[in-house]
Each structure stands twice: as C-alpha cells, then as structure tokens.
C-alpha cells in the first residue's frame, strides 16, 4: 500500500511538471498557427481569449476584483499554466493508479479533457459572460485547439 501511495505522488509530481512544460509547447504552437496560418475573423480578434474570460470570472467571483487591462495578460497565463499543470498532475496520478489510463499514449484521457474543457466549459463560460445562451465558439478555434493539444500530449 505504501508503494502505491508513493507511486501516486510520483505520478502527480511528474504530471504537474510535464503539464506545465506541455502548456508552454501548446501555447507556442497556438501562437505560431494563429500568426502564420489560421487568422481569426476580425470580430474574434477583438474578443478576449477564453483564458482571460476564465481569469476574469475567477477574479470577480472569488476576489471581488475586476481585472484591469494590464493585469489580463498575466492572469491569462496563470490560468493557462495552472490548468495545464493540474491536468498533467491528474493524468500522472491516474496513470499510476490505473495504467489503462495511459493506453494509446493517453489519447482517451486527452480527448476527455478536450471535450470537457474546450467543447463544454469554455462555451458555457463565454455564453454566460456574453449573457447569450446561444453563443458559440468560432470554427477556426475548433481546429486550432485539437491540433494544439497534440503538442500538449
């Protein structure tokens, strides 16, 4: 039992570190693709990134503080890296607990994260902040994110 507990901690710590590094790779890939190949529509360029929206929601909901323009970039990065490290940590611990989680190089786990985060949570946050229940994520970002997740995983 003690060995299993140590193994879970090792998986968690390795996953946290790997998730942070993978978030860096994913962010760089996303920036490259956005600059070189997939230009967002003009109206989307004016729109805030989903990590800024999450950071704003957390800041206002938890800290009762509205983010200022100069705070948004740092808050966005904090959300991006915290999410990546957390998901990596969960994956590392889960893979140690149940090795089947790591089957197919973790693709099922990654697909579940993508579905839950990008296809469910992000549109819900965006729709709520826009006060428009029918709001959707533009198609261009739907292509970039799964490709970017390949850099992550």
Over the stretch 86-119, which tens digit does the pLDDT of each residue have? 999 999 999 999 999 998 888 999 899 989 888 8
Whether residue 68 lies inside any domain: the answer is no
Whether residue 106 lies inside any domain: the answer is yes
Using 50, 70 and 90 to split pLDDT, how confident is the model at 131? low
CB 44 within 8 A of CB 144: no
Whether residue 113 lies inside any domain: the answer is yes
Cα 94 to Cα 65: distance, rounded to the nearest angstrom: 35
Whether residue 104 lies inside any domain: the answer is yes
Over the stretch 47-59, which tens digit does the pLDDT of each residue have? 788 889 889 888 9
Q: Say which residues have a Cβ less than 8 Å from residue 3's Cβ, sequence separation at least 6.
A: none
Residue 35 belongs to domain spanning: 2-47+78-152
Specify the pLDDT at position 34.
79
Q: How far is Cα of residue 27 from the mean position of the Cα atoms in its chain?
A: 10
Q: What is the mean pLDDT of the chain?
A: 81
Whether residue 59 lies inside any domain: the answer is no
């Amino acid at each position: 039992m003690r060995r299993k507990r140590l193994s879970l901690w090792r998986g968690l710590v390795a996953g946290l570190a790997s998730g942070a590094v993978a978030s860096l790779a994913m962010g760089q890939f996303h920036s490259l693709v956005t600059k070189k190949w997939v230009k967002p529509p003009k109206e989307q360029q004016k729109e805030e990134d989903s990590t800024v929206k999450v950071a704003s929601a957390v800041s206002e909901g938890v800290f009762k503080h509205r983010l200022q323009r100069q705070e948004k970039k740092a808050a966005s990065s904090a959300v991006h890296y915290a999410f990546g490290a957390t998901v990596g940590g969960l994956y590392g611990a889960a893979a140690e607990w149940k090795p089947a989680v790591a089957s197919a190089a973790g693709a099922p786990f990654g697909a579940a994260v993508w579905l839950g985060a990008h296809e469910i949570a992000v549109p819900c946050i965006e729709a709520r902040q826009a006060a428009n229940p029918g709001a959707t994520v533009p198609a261009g970002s739907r292509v970039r994110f799964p490709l970017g997740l390949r850099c992550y995983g």
